[in-house]
Copies of this chain bind each other. A is one copy, B any other.
Amino acid sequence: MARIKAHEPVLLLTEDRKRYLIRPKPGGVWYSHQGHLKYDDLIGRPFGQVVTTHLGRKLLALQPTTADLIQHIKRATQIVYPKDAAHLVMQLDLWNGKRVIEAGSGSGGLTLAFARAVMPSGRVYSYEARPEHQRLAQRNIEQLGLKDYVEFKLRDIAEGFDENDVDAVFLDVREAAAFIPQVQAALSEGGMFASLQPTANQVSELTAALQKGDFVEIRVEEILLRAWKPVPGRLRPADRMIAHTGFLIFARKLNPEHRFFWMDKRERRRAAEFASRESEK
């Protein structure tokens, strides 16, 4: 049975449904609206138990999951939702040993999901232009014991990436279309690209930039999560859902001559027509 360790993250649930992510330091105290809690009363106990503050408020101490961490780390930027993070890890094919670039670091939420996916042999190269964001992301990653798997770089990515032949690149930046040459230079042949963009206009620009570069299998996808109320005799979807977090754009770096292998009949006919018009000029 897993036990609470000093300096490692604990998720505290309150009776009024709030969630706090803490890291107990020996001898320290957690101060909150719920009352005081001595960290030494927490350290060494098994996860999954209830502790009580000096005001008598009950707290349930849980081991946070990656999804919990993404949602509850200290943050200054919008998070990538766990549903999207999961899809990105799968589609970028991130697992032990893979080398992946992300830009920007944001608050480190996606960084931690990527780090846990590629650890222990892989690496995340996390680029960020704003020092205060980098510091926050760095601290979050250190506190989770993941710093051996992440290299942080303070850099405007317009200058390019240090790495090359990486397995995957993820861009969570506003003008992603502008950095496709840099992405292409860093990726291995067959390497995976992804980006998350909130608006349809950005998707148009980014897919246009990818089509001009050495990319094939360009895909645009949305992941929708619909929750149900788990009441056995009255089973029904929840009343409301999140309708949009972002569009996920994927592409694979490959000689564009190979684009043909992904085309359906209609796309091929168009490509053939285009080629014959070009040759007539």
Q: A62-B190, A188-B2, A189-B1 are in contact. Are A238 and B228 (CB under 8 A)?
A: no
Q: What CA separation (Å) do A229 and B218 show in the bound complex?
A: 9
Interface pair B82/A67, CB less than 8 Å apart:
no
Stretch at the interface among A28-36, A130-138, A195-203: A195-203
Q: How far is the CA of A196 from the CA of B263 in the complex (A)?
A: 28
Chain A interface residue count, Cβ-Cβ cutoff 8 angstroms:
85
Interface of A is mostly: mixed
Q: A2-B188, A201-B233, A255-B48 are in contact. Are A228 and B242 (CB under 8 A)?
A: no
Copies in the complex: 4
Docked CA distance A65–B87 (Å): 13
Q: Known contacts being A65-B93, A228-B220, is A190 close to B86, with CB within 8 Å?
A: no
Q: State the 3 A-B residue pairs at the shortest beta-carbon distance, nearest first.
A: A86-B90, A237-B244, A241-B243
Q: Provide 27 A-B residue pairs closer than 8 Å at the C-beta atoms, listed in order of the A residue.
A: A13-B261, A47-B189, A47-B190, A48-B190, A48-B255, A60-B258, A62-B190, A66-B95, A86-B86, A89-B89, A96-B96, A96-B119, A117-B117, A200-B235, A203-B228, A203-B230, A203-B235, A204-B235, A207-B232, A219-B227, A220-B229, A222-B225, A222-B226, A224-B226, A238-B244, A239-B243, A240-B241
